Amino acid sequence: MQSWIDSANRADGPFPVQNLPYGIFSRDPALQEPVCGVAIGDMILDLAVLEQAGLMDMGNGPVFDLPFLNGFMELGPEAWTGLRQYLTEILRKGGDDALSGNPELQKAALFPLADATMFMPFLVAEFTDFYASKHHATHVGTLFRGAENALPPNWLHMPIGYNGRASSVVVSGSDIHRPMGQIKPDDAETPHFGPAQRVDFELELGAVIGVATEMGQPVSTAQADKMIFGYVLLNDWSARDIQAWEYQPLGPFQAKAFGTSISPWVVPKAALERLRCKAVAPDKPLLPYLSEQKPGLYDITLEASIQPENATRATTICRTNYNRMYYSSAQQLAHHASSGCPMNCGDLLGSGTISGPETSEYGSLLEKSEAGQKPFILDTGETRTFIEDYDRITLTGWAQGDGYRIGFGECTGRIIPPLPEPDWKN
């Protein structure tokens, strides 16, 4: 299947007609409020324009002339499927000519992707981050507790996670201030307060929840899968030196609350259906509520790169795949709701750092530098253990179909110096 928009037909292009990811954009933020759009080739299809032209009626009034996708997501899976089928039909070559045969509407509805300003694609209701890659958990556990005690006893029985901060989830391109916090070096008797020196990235995939549940209502993994609207790239920035002092006994807190970056495009779950793949067989039998009736992972190639401020180009420091995960997003969601915790439209579930068995697949600098003990050299000559000021981290991802590619775009962010400390006495 090809599109009548030629730029959508490149075999290595991220946004073919088989993808159709959703995002929030503005043609000119000074003149136009952000609205909902769909990426197709090197263009954005303005859904608000189509809605105003009467081509799309979701039955509950306008939902696309809004600066977030939540209004559409709340309509549920049937509406998601119906709109996707309609968009595919008007964008595919030889399909409905409501758009392809109307030059005036094309001029109003299609806008160059390169000229658009992108915004947060949805209002984040809650953010939960998991720790669900066995390779990552084993690498990190071995660094701090030795190979014999790398995984905590509960790890092989359930997806471990923690509730993060929705308020600090930002769209790709946003700068992140180096966090301040309590730090206690190993050779110090007491902690001090100051800027984190061990700022890290975490290469993750984020599941965007589109269906809410009632308080007290558990869901199966099959139901959980249907609740997922789509996926984004996610970088859960981490301050490892703050984390090392604070995480006992309750886990991460300020070390991960200062910023989480997501890509501006939400790839619909439907675009990935043909690219599902099975997880490895669990080391120990899982309890029935975590069983899956169909493969819960996807064959998604993921990369991370770092580019210092004056470097001429970025250095790829990780290339791995989402199929390395031990627990799927559906299992994570089913576990999250199992206690009766209500889930909301706009909830964001981070997969946890995605790592593979090889050094080239380590999805964090904590692993790559062996907790700062093993510096590595970038292609442009700089040496790193952790992120320095003005370093830019970029995550990319794509799933390869038969003659087409489902791209996620980029999730990029730069660490900048902390803001000045206040007068603590006033």
In the prediction, which pLDDT does 30 show?
A: 86
Predicted local confidence at residue 144, as pLDDT: 87
Q: Sketch out the chain's domains with CATH numbers.
A: 6-119 (2.30.30.230), 127-416 (3.90.850.10)
**Residue 106 has what pLDDT?**
96
Identify the pLDDT of residue 226. 97
Task: Say which residue the tokens 């809605």 belong to.
Answer: 51
Residues 6+ apart with CB under 8 A from 50: 56, 64, 99, 105, 109
Counted residue by residue, the chain has a size of 426
Alpha carbons 195 and 182: distance in angstroms, whole number: 9
Tokens of 146: 């030795």
For the chain (length 426 residues), average pLDDT per consecutive 10?
96 96 95 94 97 88 94 96 97 96 96 97 98 95 90 95 96 98 95 97 98 98 98 98 92 95 98 93 95 95 98 97 97 98 98 96 97 96 98 98 96 97 90
The C-alpha atoms of residue 385 and residue 364 are separated, in whole angstroms, by 11
| Alpha-carbon torsion, ordered 261, 171, 175, 324, to 10 deg | 20
| pLDDT value, residue 298 | 97
CB contact at 8 A, 362 and 368: yes
Any idea which residues carry the catalytic annotation?
136
Which residues are paired to 411 by β-bridges? Answer: 395
